[in-house]
Amino acid sequence: MSYHKHNNYIELDNVSFSYPRSRVIIKDITLQLVQNEFTALIGPNGGGKTTLGKLAIGILKPTSGKVFICGKDSTEMTLGEISRKIGYLFQNPQRQLFALTVAEDIAFSLEWNGGDRAERRIGIGTGTEIERKVNNMLELFQLEHLRDASPFSLSHGEKERVALAGIFINQLDYFVLDEPTTGLDIERKKILDNILNKFRTHGIGILAISHDEDLVAQHADRIIEIADGEIVYDHSERIRP
């Protein structure tokens, strides 16, 4: 086991990455992400933002260099272990929806947090802790009327909300969100804003990949821009009180 100094929640040390047979997508990036901060990752299409996000949460492993999550080398962690430290929203919400109903989908992600599958199944609809948590999320994201709907029948914005609900049901210290506002209308963006503001007061860290200038302007403590696999801008906007 190689442990590392643990001041940074996520740390990339000289990370380069190519997909199989691809050109170099991430070029020797060194980056530290701390917990008590909202970091916005911006930049042009194809610049490598999603790839960098997946490297940061260990779905992809660096071609060279190292990624440390809470001080531990990501190549030595299982995805289950990482998912108890970092919540991850895929750019395409379709990627994380798979259960038969919206309620089950939101409940399912709790399993990764140490729950038990059978308990979860039974849990739905029987007044358990799980049901309470799922109901809170359904209410928070205004999805109660869709509780028994198939996730695949939903509109894009509804899918995004189910995906967000499935992530935020886990109380974690850090979230990586890839385009969290796509498909959200103004009212639902406000819901997300409120959640992010609450996270701020609790010191929960965020890496948000986004083209949404309002989201970035409203929440970012730090803005990092990458283009063609390199950091071209890295600036702290404000110091937290």
Ligand X SMILES: Nc1ncnc2c1ncn2[C@@H]1O[C@H](COP(=O)(O)OP(=O)(O)OP(=O)(O)O)[C@@H](O)[C@H]1O
What residues make contact with Mg ion under the rule CB under 5 A?
A: 49-50, 91
Tell me if 213 sits within 8 A of 181, measured CB to CB: no
Among 46, 80, 125, 203, binds ligand X (CB under 6 A): 46
Binding at 22: pick from Mg ion, ligand X, none (beta carbon under 5-8 Å per type): ligand X
| 109 touches ligand X by CB under 6 A | no
CA dihedral defined by 147, 190, 94, 154, rounded to 10 degrees? 40
Instruction: Output the smallest distance, CB 153 to ligand X, in A.
Output: 25
Beta strands 24-33 and 230-236: pairing type? Answer: unpaired
Instruction: Output the smallest distance, CB 187 to Mg ion, in A.
Output: 25
| 98 touches ligand X by CB under 6 A | no
Query: First CA to last CA across the chain, in angstroms?
Result: 36
Of 207, 206, 235, the C-alpha closest to 222 is 235
Tell me if 219 sits within 8 A of 189, measured CB to CB: no
Q: Which is nearer to ligand X, 60 or 70 (CB)?
A: 60
Tell me if 59 sits within 8 A of 150, measured CB to CB: no
Total residues binding ligand X (CB under 6 A): 12
Region binding ligand X by CB under 6 A among candidate stretches 32-40, 45-53, 124-132, 195-203: 45-53
| 93 touches ligand X by CB under 6 A | no
Query: Which residues contact ligand X (rule: CB under 6 A)?
Result: 19, 22, 25, 43, 45-51, 91
